[in-house]
Amino acid sequence: MDTVTGHPNGKYTETLSPIAIGRIIFDRNEIKKAETELKNVDEIFFNWEETTIISPYYYQLIIGPEDTPYEGGFFFFKAQMPDNYPFASMKMKCETQGDNVRQHPNYYTNGKCCLSFLGTWSGPPWSACQNILSIAHTMKSIFTKNPIQNEPGWETTNNERSKLYERLVSYWTLKVAVSDMMISRPTTHYDVFLPIMEEKFIKYYPTYLKNLETFRDLDKKTISSPVYGFSVTFNLDTLLSKLNSIHSSILSKRPELSPSKILKSIDEPIIDTDKPINDTKLILSTDSSTESKTIEFKKLKKPIISIPSSYIKKPSTHDDKIIEIIPDEETKGRQVPNAKPSKFNDGYEMTSENNGLVYKVKLYPSGIKKWILK
C-alpha cells in the first residue's frame, strides 16, 4: 500500500485505536447480516485478514455490473484501515491490473483509487457515518456503461472516441479481469474468493461468449486508446481457448455447476450461426449424458462502431475488411468551461468560453464534480 496515498487526516501505522476496533467489528457484523444479498444481488465480497487481533487490512472482490464494459469481471481491492477509523477513511488499492491498461478514469494502473471520500480527489470528503460496505457500493457504482464520462472534460461525451474506449475496456475485462484473474490472482489473499468466482464464471459464461464475438471486426488488430496512451491487441482465438479451458476445468471439479442450469433459460443459441470461431462448435453438456446444447458464432457483417484509422497501430495485412474513417468533429477542442468544476457548488451554471453553451456543475455519488450541459 506504500504507493497509494491515504486520507489526509488518517494515520496508518497498523495500530488500531479501541474506537477503530469497535467500529470495524460493527461494520463486519453488518456485512455478515447482508451476506445473502451481497452474494446474489450486489456481488460484493470481503476477506478479512484474520489474526489474533483485528487486522487493519481487508480484501474486497467486486463483480463488474451487467450491461457495462466491466460485466462479469473480477475486480480486487486491498484496503488498509486507519488507526483512527472512522474519523478518516481507509486506503484502497485496485489490484486487478494488466497490460498497462487504464481500466477506468478513477482506477489507475498503479492501483490508486481516485475518489473524494478516500481523500484522493476533490469533492465531498469522508464522513464518519460512512463505512466499509457503503464505500464498496460506491466503488461499484462508478463501473458504468460509458466510463470515460467519469473523466473531467468528458462528462457529456458520447461519440466514437468514448465508444472506442468502452470497447477496449470491455475486451480487457474478458482478457484480464476474467481470464487472467481466474488463472492467477494478484496475491494469495484473493484465493479465498475462488469458489465464488467459479460460480460467477459459470453464470456469466454465455455473456462472455456473446461479448467476445462483438470484437470479430477487430481480431488480430492492435488498437490505440483515445485517452491514457495505452493500446489493446485483440486475439479472439486465444482468449476463447482460455475461457473454454477455464469452463471445462470448473465443471470437471464442480459438476453441480452444470451449465444446463443456465441453458434451461435460453431457448435459442446465443448467436445464430454463420461461421463459428475456429470453424468449430462449442458444446455445453446438459444434465443428460446423451444431450448437448450447441452454441455457434455468427461472423458480424458490420463492425459495431467504425474505428478511425489513426487508432489502428498494426492493421492486419491479410484482412480484406475496410474500416470506415469517421470525422470526429465533436471532439475537436475542449467544449466545457476551462474552470475546474470542483471549485463550484453543485448546480452552479457557467457559459463556456469554448462553444458559448451553458453548463452546470453536477455532483456524482463518487464525490466527483463535472460540467454537464444545462
> Catalytic residues, which ones?
114
Whether the Cβ atoms of residue 354 and residue 334 lie closer than 8 Å to each other? yes
For cell 446444447, what's the residue? 293
Encode burial over 134-173: b for 16+ CB neighbours within 10 A, e otherwise.
ebbebbbebbbeebbbbbbbbbbbebbbbbbbbbbbbbbb
Q: Give the strand pairing for 74-80 and 91-94.
A: antiparallel
Q: Which three cell numbers stand for residue 11?
A: 494515520
Residues 6+ apart with CB under 8 A from 22: none
**Beta-sheet pairing, 349-351 with 292-295:** unpaired
Q: Which one, of 313, 347, 152, lies nearest residue 225 by Cα?
A: 313
Enter the C-alpha cell of residue 92. Answer: 484502497
Answer yes or no: are the C-beta atoms of 126 and 120 closer than 8 Å: no
